[in-house]
């Protein structure tokens, strides 16, 4: 059994001594249990290259493909890898303002792929190159936040749904009006404010700055409610901040956490981060990739 080192009183743990190259059902079940318990798991010195990163991620289900704009040169040979860094295909720091503003949106609290009709379950982010300071990732435990909500507020949000769009959160960060191509690639989705976790059965807050408004509620009133919930869920007592080292693999459950990046000097220091994202499908779904 691996050694578990808790990183926060409520959630998040470093996992030591687990062989991530084993790629069998036993490894998958061990990891599922860890994800259910801690929601955020840190594997230091993972030793994974791109192929191994993708292979390990497939243990947990079918992977999303990163959106690709025609004519743009992808950085990676694997379509399952999302670029979460600030480098171009030649390895140079991206200086284009549009690209930098898009990445700046990651500094807002969010949940990966909440803007897709088919949500994501797990994200697996691997650090290849990190700046000397800044660029931490903060995580919020949405299980504990839901449990600690005042009764009246918990009752108020039952059954409510919110409209999620990545372009809403990006424009909050200063990104310009999205193009028709961008809108067609990622159009948006409606999600519940309270999400029952498919494995544990526990209810969790399901929030993000991607959420623009609450369905059926005046936009200002709905926006105020969303802000109130996010402010409550991101109190320091619910938050773990991860300081990255090269080789770190951090896995988190998007159905019961939020996260955000913290700033760094992105025009000075390179940052190479690569993410896989698992689709949220039942384990018995025949479309889920075989875990072997």
Tens digit of pLDDT per residue, the chain (292 long)? Answer: 899 999 999 999 999 999 999 999 999 999 999 999 999 999 999 999 999 999 999 999 999 999 876 556 788 999 999 999 999 989 999 998 888 888 888 999 999 999 999 999 999 999 999 999 999 999 999 999 999 999 999 999 999 999 999 998 888 888 888 888 888 888 899 999 999 999 999 999 999 999 999 999 999 999 999 999 999 999 999 999 999 999 999 999 999 999 999 999 999 999 999 999 999 986 544 343 333 3
CATH code reported for the domain at 3-279: 3.60.130.10
Encoded tokens for 22 = 């084993």
Of 172, 174, 168, residue with least CA distance to 186: 168
Query: What is the spatial distance between Cα 205 and Cα 65, in angstroms, rounded to a whole number?
Result: 26
Q: 162 - beta bridge partners?
A: 191, 214
Residue 131 pLDDT: 97
Query: What is the spatial distance between Cα 62 and Cα 120, in angstroms, rounded to a whole number?
Result: 10
Q: 149 - beta bridge partners?
A: none
| DSSP label at residue 142 | H
Question: 130 and 227 in contact (C-beta within 8 Å)?
Answer: no
């Amino acid at each position: 059994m691996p050694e578990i080192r808790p990183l926060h009183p409520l959630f998040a743990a470093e996992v030591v001594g687990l062989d991530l190259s084993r790629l069998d059902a036993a490894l998958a079940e061990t990891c599922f249990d860890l994800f259910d318990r801690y929601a955020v798991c840190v594997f230091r010195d993972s030793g994974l290259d791109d192929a191994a990163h993708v292979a390990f991620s497939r243990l947990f289900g079918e992977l999303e493909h990163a959106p690709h704009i025609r004519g743009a040169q992808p950085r990676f040979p694997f379509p399952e890898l999302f670029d979460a860094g600030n480098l171009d295909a030649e390895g140079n720091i991206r200086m284009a303002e549009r690209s930098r503003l898009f990445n700046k949106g990651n500094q807002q609290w969010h949940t990966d792929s909440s803007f897709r009709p088919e949500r994501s379950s797990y994200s697996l982010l691997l650090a290849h190159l990190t700046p000397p300071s800044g660029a931490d990732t903060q995580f919020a435990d949405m299980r504990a936040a839901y449990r600690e909500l005042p009764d009246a507020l918990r009752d108020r949000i039952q059954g409510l749904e919110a409209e999620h769009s990545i372009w809403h959160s990006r424009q909050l960060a200063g990104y310009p009006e999205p193009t028709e191509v961008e809108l067609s690639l990622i159009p948006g989705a409606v999600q519940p404010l309270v999400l029952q976790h498919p494995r544990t059965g526990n209810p969790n807050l399901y929030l993000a700055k991607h959420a623009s408004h609450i369905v059926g509620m005046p936009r200002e009133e709905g926006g105020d409610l969303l802000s109130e919930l996010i402010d409550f869920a991101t109190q320091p007592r619910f938050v773990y901040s991860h300081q990255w080292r090269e080789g770190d693999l951090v896995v988190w459950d998007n159905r019961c956490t939020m996260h955000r990046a913290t700033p760094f000097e992105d025009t000075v220091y390179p940052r190479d981060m690569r993410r896989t994202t698992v689709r949220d499908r039942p384990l018995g779904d025949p479309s889920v990739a075989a875990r072997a």
